[in-house]
Amino acid sequence: MDLRQLRYFIALNEHRSFVRAADAMGITQPAFSRSIQGLEQEFGCVLVDRGNKDLRPTPEGQVVLQHALTLVQGAALLSAEVTQMTKLDAGELRFGCGPAPAVKLVPDAVAQFINAHPKVRTCFQVDNWEKLSRALSREEIEFFIADIRHFEADPNFQTQALTPKRGVFFCRPGHPLLVKDSLSTNDMFDYPLATTLIPPGIRKLLANLSGRMDFSPTIETEHFPALVKVVLQSNAIGIGTEEAFVEDIAKGSLVLLHWRNLPQNIESMNARCGIVSRTGFRLSPAARAMIETLVAVDKQQISVAV
């Protein structure tokens, strides 16, 4: 039994004639009759009362007809729904991102995405990479954007690298450190440090610089605008990716700090930003389209910066 046979049986009930039903379905009458006979053989009973001029279904045929209508209609609805999702005319997308990508990369990409696909409901969660990985494992989101170093060697995750982001230190104008001609990393630890949840590599670097076994910032938040406001109103030193507050630097409302004993482009201070998804799980059409948009916007932003 297949949907084609069920459609033929429905057509026979509508037209009450093998000839007219076959013509409506676009096949020859003998082929149509063989299909109905095959359906009867499969069920082991007569489905059509051929002694009746109206070719009415038998009681068994009536049961088959009811189920056939449900199955054929369900198949049509399924096909329509999948087609809508494939064309991105409906559906929902849920993904996550770290605080730094949430400042510019993700909003720019989401804006482009909803301009192209306005009927897709788009939700993105801003949090640290630890919580995002748990949300991904619980299937609450399809992917997230964050530093990928923690996930590259884990077989449970797939990663797709984006452009590395330069990690920097920043403070408010008028900060006491700015009166010095040269700054050492020793000066850094005389003041509170404010940051989002930092990757293990940067945490280890800061621990080594401070001479401690481990490092924990004085202020930690995943809300980057709040972190910047704290830095602007205190002597705290902020740590983050430069692109997240490039406009504040350009306006002079934030100032970059350079340490003489710390190379400006030290690799461990850079964020290895990328897209993280689950191994073995097929992404929805909306998720794939969003990732393509993120990659394109990331390239555009780098081109503008250069």
Q: What distance in Å separates the CA atoms of residue 55 and residue 13, rounded to the nearest whole number?
A: 8
pLDDT, tens digit, for every residue of 208-239?
888 888 888 999 998 888 999 999 999 999 99
Question: What integer pLDDT is reported at residue 306 of this predicted model?
Answer: 44
Report which of residues 84 and 273 the model is more confident about.
273
From the number of C-beta atoms within 10 Å of its C-beta (0-12, 13-18, 19+), residue 47 rates as buried
Q: Percentage of the chain surpassing pLDDT 90?
A: 46
pLDDT, tens digit, for every residue of 11-69?
888 889 999 988 888 889 999 999 999 988 998 999 899 988 888 999 998 999 899 88
pLDDT, tens digit, for every residue of 237-287?
999 888 788 888 889 999 999 888 876 656 567 778 899 999 988 898 899
pLDDT confidence band for 73 (50 / 70 / 90): confident
Look over the chain and give the mean of its residue pLDDT values, rounded to a whole number: 88
Question: What integer pLDDT is reported at residue 201 of this predicted model?
Answer: 75
Identify the weakest region by mean pLDDT among 3-12, 150-159, 237-246, 295-304: 295-304
Q: What distance in Å separates the CA atoms of residue 55 and residue 49, rounded to the nearest whole number?
A: 5
Phi-psi region at 241: left, alpha or beta (left = phi > 0; alpha = psi -120 to 50): beta
Could you identify the residue written with the tokens 């299937």?
139
Question: What integer pLDDT is reported at residue 86 of this predicted model?
Answer: 64
Joined together, the tokens standing for residue 120 give 């897709």
Question: What integer pLDDT is reported at residue 141 of this predicted model?
Answer: 95
Joined together, the tokens standing for residue 212 give 């401690």
Question: What integer pLDDT is reported at residue 208 of this predicted model?
Answer: 86
Question: What integer pLDDT is reported at residue 118 of this predicted model?
Answer: 92
Long-range contact set of residues 111-119: C-beta below 8 Å, sequence gap at least 24: 112/293, 112/296, 112/297, 113/289, 113/290, 113/293, 116/88, 116/289, 116/293, 117/88, 117/89, 117/286, 117/289, 119/88, 119/89, 119/90
Identify the weakest region by mean pLDDT among 56-60, 127-131, 199-203: 199-203
Q: What distance in Å separates the CA atoms of residue 279 and residue 284, rounded to the nearest whole number?
A: 14
pLDDT, tens digit, for every residue of 118-128?
989 999 999 99
Question: What integer pLDDT is reported at residue 263 of this predicted model?
Answer: 64
Q: Which of 209, 194, 305 is nearest to 249 (CA)?
A: 305
Mean pLDDT of the region 200-213: 83
Mean pLDDT of the region 170-177: 95
